[in-house]
Structure 1
Amino acid sequence: MSVELLHYTRGKHVENIHRGDAVCVSSDGKILGSLGNAHLPMFWRSAAKPFQLLQFVKMGGVEKYNLTQAELAILASSHSGESIHVETVTSILHKLGLTPDILNCGAARPMSGKAFKELVRQNLKPSALHNPCSGKHSGIIALCQLLEIPIDYCEPHTCDFNHELGEQNSQRI
């Protein structure tokens, strides 16, 4: 069973209690310590992004494409679709000599409510640049270019953020 890991307070009052499970293992897989259920199945999902980027970094991709720390950070993380995130992913693609059309992650409503309201105010639709995974997808494309292999990194139906969320959520876009 998950254990209490953090009490988030506001003043003297506990506002949120965060629960979780954690395990520390040796390189041979032996459990060294744990909190909660050390054998609970888990899915990497976005936690894998820094590891997916590792080979690109080790092969000199950051230097080859002259990426900034902010650009490297967005390749290794999810984002909320704010203008700074969209601009950062656009900058990466520009350095690769590409346009946002290359992104095969699907359009997604920004996770930031403020960013979504700004799109609505400007009568604009969300794009793949607003997808929280557009940085990771840009990193996959960058690695493909670095390795000089085709950029056909996934089929739209297998990596579309809205597909993962289900049809009811994609209707909100």
Structure 2
Amino acid sequence: MSPSQPVPPRPAADAPAPPPPGPSPVLAEVVRSGFVEGVHRGSVVVLEADGSVAWSLGEPDRPVFPRSANKPMQAAAILRAGLDLAGERLALAAASHSGEPFHLELAERMLTEFGLSVDALQCPPDLPLDPVEAEQYLASGQVRRPLTMNCSGKHAAMLAACARNGWPLDSYLDPAHPLQLLVRETVEAAAGEPVAALGTDGCGAPLMALTLPGLARA
């Protein structure tokens, strides 16, 4: 800055912080009887085949917790750990199940094949996700169990992968566990970006934040 130019004043120590970004754009409206009773705001991104951004709206680079959208990537890590998953087993490991009897039977079978019981599951006890299944389950006198929680298939696959590799079973949800380190490596490789934040999902498993472009690439 030359001597002839005025020196801009420094902000006061107690100057207010810059305002936060404005609200995200409205993506959907909730309409009842022709009346808009609510709106949903958020961000959208569309990618080219090469993974570059073709179009976006809102703040697509703002990291989010993808919740169950992370499950296919977690299942990919379980495959990388050497667990033989295909067909209905892979589907159960990569998605939320509705708690139908054949879901529960398969999750339990995936455990018993490695000498494990349902007591090894560390997902929280819950009712079947499907309302009809939940009603029938309660009518039969059953109570909430980890096995009936909608993520028990993923947890059963995680435990089976740990048993196959000789990894600790009681700490399989610890972010520093060999399986969870492999999950993080797989998530970052699939997304093409580092995990922005680490949290805990409702099922107790580590939850890894990504941007929308990263999630879409994965």
Q: Is the TM-score greater than 0.5?
A: yes
Give the 3 Å change call, closer, same or farther, for CA 68–29 of structure 1 in structure 2.
closer
- RMSD across aligned C-alpha pairs, in angstroms? 3.2
Residues 137 and 45 (structure 1), Cα distance of their counterparts in 2 relative to 1, 3 Å cut: same
Q: Return closer, same or farther for 1:131/1:38 CA change in 2, 3 Å cut-off.
A: same
Q: CA deviation at 1:108?
A: 0.5
CA apart distance, 1:127: 1.1
**Is 1:108 aligned to residue 126 of structure 2?**
yes
Task: Give the aligned partner of residue 3 of structure 1.
Answer: 27
Q: Percent identity over the alignment?
A: 33
Q: Which has the higher helix share?
A: 1
Match of 2:168 among 150, 164, 173: 150
Q: Give the number of aligned pairs.
A: 145
1:43 pairs, out of 65, 83, 87, with 65
1:132 pairs with 2:132: no
Q: Following the alignment from structure 1 to structure 2, what is the Cα–Cα distance between the partners of residues 109 and 41?
A: 31
Q: Do the aligned residues in 2 keep the contact of 1:111 with 1:132 (CA within 8 Å)? A: yes
Partner Cα distance (2:89, 2:202) in 1? 22
Equivalent residues in 2 for 1:82-97, closer than 5 Å: 82-97=100-115
- The one-letter amino acid of 1:77's match is A
2:55 matched to which residue of 1? 33
Distance 1:131 1:40, change over 3 A: same
Deviation for aligned residue 1:117? 1.1
Residue 146 of structure 1, CA deviation: 2.7
Matched, 1:80 2:98: yes
CA displacement at 1:34 relative to structure 2: 2.5
- 3-state SS, counterpart of residue 147 of structure 2: helix
Going from structure 1 to structure 2, the CA distance change for 1:89 and 1:136 (only over 3 Å counts) comes to: same
Cα deviation, residue 42, structure 1: 2.0
Considering Cα pairs closer than 8 Å and 6+ residues apart, tell me whether 1 or 2 has the greater RCO: 2
Q: Give the gaps of 5 or more residues in structure 1.
A: 5-16, 163-173
> Relative to 1, partners in 2 of residues 1:144 and 1:116: Cα closer, same or farther, differing over 3 Å?
same
Distance 1:69 1:25, change over 3 A: same
Q: Shift of the alpha carbon at 1:48?
A: 0.8
- Letter of the structure 1 residue corresponding to residue 151 of structure 2: C
CA distance in structure 2 between the aligned counterparts of 1:24 and 1:79, rounded to whole angstroms? 28
CA shift, 1:124, in A, is: 1.1
How much does 1:33 deviate?
Answer: 2.5
TM-score normalised by length of structure 1: 0.68
Within the alignment, does 1:58 sit opposite 2:80 as a pair? yes
- The CA deviation at 1:22 is 3.0
Q: Structure 2: 5+ residue runs without aligned partners?
A: 1-24, 29-38, 175-199, 205-218
